[in-house]
Every structure is written in C-alpha cells, then in structure tokens.
Amino acid sequence: MTTEQLLRPSPSPLQALSNTAWEARGLQVYIKRDDLLAPAIADPFCGNKWRKLQYNLAHILNQPERLPILTFGGPYSNHIAAVASAGRHFNIPTIGVIRGEVVTNPTLTKARTDGMQLHFIDRTTYRQKHTPEIQQQFLKQFGKVHLIPEGGTNALALKGCTALGKELAAQLPDMTHLLLACGTGGTLAGVTLGLEATNIEVLGISALKGNFLTREVEQLLNSQFDAIPTSWQIFTTFHHGGYAKAPKDLVRFINQFQTQYDIPLEPVYTGKVAWALDQLIAQNYFPEGSRVVLLHSGGLQGLVGGLMEI
Ligand SMILES: *Cc1c(COP(=O)(O)O)cnc(C)c1O
C-alpha cells in the first residue's frame, strides 16, 4: 500500500450484531470494525492507534527534515507497538521510552523487529517524562525528535478520533449510544467532538482502576475551543481488577463472543467494553428502540494464537 492509501483508507465497516435477547428488548446493536483499519491483519498500527497516529504521521511526513518519533509507554503498550509499525510502514525512525526495568515480551519484540529503538527508564523518571527537565535530557540524549505523548493522545490524535465520530454519524445517523474503551480518554474526547452536540450518548468504559479519567477528558475537551462535544460519561466499574487484568469469566466471555459472531476481542480493552455492553443491556440501561454501537478499537496484536485459554 502507498503512503496515501495507508493514510486515507475507506471507512471501516459497521456490522450488525444479531442477538435474539437484545432484539427482544427492542435494541439494535452494531460493531464498528476499526480493528480492520490496518495495513495488514494483526498489524499493531490499527484501530484507535491508527486514528490517533493518522494526522501525526501526515504532519511528520510533510516536514522537510525526517526526524525520528520519540514516544512513551509501558512494556505492554499497544501505542508503542503501533508507533513502531507505523515507523516501518512510513520509513520514519522510532524511539520508544519504556517504563520500568528491562523486560521482553511479544509487544516489545514486535516493536524491535519493526525497527524501534527501545530505552528503559525507571518509574520515577518515567513519571516526570513530560516535565521540561526530563525533556531537556531526552533532547541531549536523542537529538531533535517528534515527541508523541504516552498513549499517543495529542491534538492531532483528537483530530483523527473526531473524524471517526463523523464517519460513524454518517454511517448510522440515528445512532443513540456509542460504547468505547478508555485508556487515556483521548479516543473518547475526539469522538465526542466528531459527534458534536447531538443527542448521542458516548459511554466510555475505563480499562483502568480509578476515577481520574473524567477529569482528564474534561481537560482534553477544554483544550478544544471551537467545538461542542456530545454528551458522554465514563464507567469505572468494568475494569475486572485493573489494567490488563483478565479474570476467567472475562476470557470465557471473549471466547464466547468470538464463537458467536466470529469477531475476535482482546481482554485489555475491547473485551471489557463488550462485557459492559452485555451488562448494561441486562440492567435495562438502554431504552427500547436504542441503536447502540460498540467500537472495536483494535489491539488484537497482543493476542497470540487465536482463542485464549481459560
Ligand atoms: C490504546 C487503546 C485504547 C485506549 O485509547 P485511549 O485513547 O488512550 O483512551 C482502547 N482500545 C484499544 C484496543 C487500545 O489499543
């Protein structure tokens, strides 16, 4: 695929999920297949990472000088793997600053294979990565770079997710609810701006324990003066024990979802959103006649070898 085709593919499909129990409640449920938005199957440059990097890459490719991208993440970060893969596709050198002691795992191995230079830093320094002092230090160590923050959430990332909101509104104009996974909340913030001040309710499902996300999304939205978001809220009760925790009942649910719909999910983000959808339907959260969309934000490269074992 050419650079142009990679950055401007056609809209990702919106598929109906047929389920007699949900239909009996008068609900129509769809899944937005952003996991298919990728240069190849199981490529980590996919899903919401594709949306968030799209305008960043276009901006970088427009610069006269080809500087490396420097970014940050934990050792299991989908964002790290996505940046590494995008760097390979677009011929941009990449540097990943990884939190904690030196480790190896499939995500980091893939990033390295995609040409990313990995640097591990201790957790204390990592927490200060966005302070001017530490950034000076990076500048000295790595020279001039394009800095992309942890999780890829910056203004250009929001712009990519705003485009996703607009794409969805065009595909399903009478959508009433959208459910999506939250890590930094950047995807949610961008999507709510793309849906503008409609009556569509965006429900963010936090993949992390804690209540800090609402404030962070508010801050992200406050940085966008010229747009009014649709209504949104974040649920903090579907994390299943915390980030990347995957208890057996969640794994069983994901395997069942795959068997029923032939759509793979992963336990860190999308499995938790599908679970939340199922639970909220059972709790009668959605009024009869609702048209609910589940966002498949990708993340499948972390799954090695198909169905997960329980
Ligand atoms: C990174 C990631 C998220 C979280 O996105 P944020 O914009 O940080 O909230 C959600 N889903 C998947 C599959 C991801 O890889």
126 and 100 in contact (C-beta within 8 Å)?
A: yes
Dist. CA 120–CA 296, nearest whole Å: 30
pTM: 0.95
Pocket (CB within 6 angstroms of ligand 1): 47-49, 78-79, 151, 153, 181-187, 269-270, 297-299
Between the CA of 135 and the centroid of ligand 1 the distance, in Å, is 25
> Whose CA is closest to 195, among 174, 213, 216, 212?
174
Pocket test for ligand 1, best of 45, 50, 187, 188 (most atoms within 8 A of CB): 187
Dist. CA 142–CA 91, nearest whole Å: 18
Between the CA of 297 and the centroid of ligand 1 the distance, in Å, is 7
pLDDT per position as a tens digit, 39-49: 988 899 999 99
Residue nearest to atom 10 of ligand 1 (CA): 181
State the closest ligand 1 atom to the C-alpha of 266, by its place in the atom list counted from 1.
Answer: 13
**Which pLDDT score is estimated for 308?**
59
Close Cβ partners of 208 (under 8 Å, ≥ 6 residues apart): 182, 183, 239, 242, 243
Dist. CA 106–CA 310, nearest whole Å: 20
Tell me the DSSP string of 141-165. HH-S-EEE-GGG-SHHHHHHHHHHH
Identify the helix (H) or strand (E) that includes residue 294: strand 291-296
Q: Which amino acid, residue 92?
A: I
> What residues of the chain score a pLDDT lower than 70?
1, 304-310
> Whose CA is closest to 26, among 293, 294, 296, 284?
284
Between the CA of 240 and the centroid of ligand 1 the distance, in Å, is 16
Torsional class of 82: left (φ above 0), alpha (ψ -120 to 50), beta (otherwise): alpha
**Which pLDDT score is estimated for 305?**
47
pLDDT per position as a tens digit, 205-258: 999 999 999 999 999 999 887 789 999 999 999 999 999 899 999 999 999 999
149 and 53 in contact (C-beta within 8 Å)?
A: no
**Which pLDDT score is estimated for 309?**
57
Residue nearest to atom 15 of ligand 1 (CA): 299
Helix (H, G, I), strand (E, B) or coil at 232: strand
> Whose CA is closest to 57, among 168, 179, 157?
157
44 and 296 in contact (C-beta within 8 Å)?
A: no
Between the CA of 269 and the centroid of ligand 1 the distance, in Å, is 7
**Which pairing describes strands 201-206 and 177-182: parallel, antiparallel, or unpaired?**
parallel
Residue nearest to atom 4 of ligand 1 (CA): 183
State the closest ligand 1 atom to the C-alpha of 82, by its place in the atom list counted from 1.
Answer: 15
- Exposed e or buried b for every residue in 80-95, given b needs 16+ CB within 10 A? bbbbbbbbbbbebebb
**Which pLDDT score is estimated for 244?**
86
Q: Which two tokens stand for residue 300?
A: 């499948």
Close Cβ partners of 125 (under 8 Å, ≥ 6 residues apart): 134
